[in-house]
Amino acid sequence: MESRPITGFILTLLGGLFIVLGTIVGIVLTPPYSPPYYTMPSYYYPFLLTSAVCGVLVLLAAAEMYLRPEYHAVWGIVGLVLSVAAVVGAITGYFALFGVVGVVFGTLGGATSIAWKSGGGSPTALVGAARMCPGCGRYVPAATPYCAFCGTAAPVIRPPGAWTAQQPPGTLPPK
């Protein structure tokens, strides 16, 4: 039973790491001043900083989808949208190598965690669906008043009128 969206978490985490790594590479490789006069600060920096913020928030979304699996769809949407928004850093050209890989991983991770379904929940969820027969020790549906294997009667806790009467195995129906 999978109780966390592990695949979505890993893909979103990789996406966030690649986005942040791409922006760091872009900041290091971008010249501090723009040509042709080299007097004005580079216009790439706002795009790179936007991508860096998106990358850090994608990492936060990955952590939250692991820590709070009940909100997997919300954090999947956040990771998906911010991964796509990190494309603005691709304008620099330095970001494209890592950034596109990060955007793809982040988008796939967000979509995977949105589509994730819990593997069945806690082990206590089985208690309401089945019970163990006191006669033979096999599991039988909790809604049946008799064991289908040995015919042992078992108390069923449910409101009156919620089920129709069932005959034990091997007996004829009433006339």
Tokens standing for 33? 């001043």
pLDDT digits (tens, 9 = 90+) for 45-95: 788 888 889 999 999 999 999 999 999 999 999 999 999 988 877 666 666
Name the nearest CA neighbour of 14 among 61, 69, 47: 61
Rounded CA-CA distance 22/47 in Å is: 12
Give me the residues paired with residue 139 across strands. 132
pLDDT at 158: 55
Can you give the pTM of this predicted structure? 0.62
Give me the residues paired with residue 132 across strands. 139
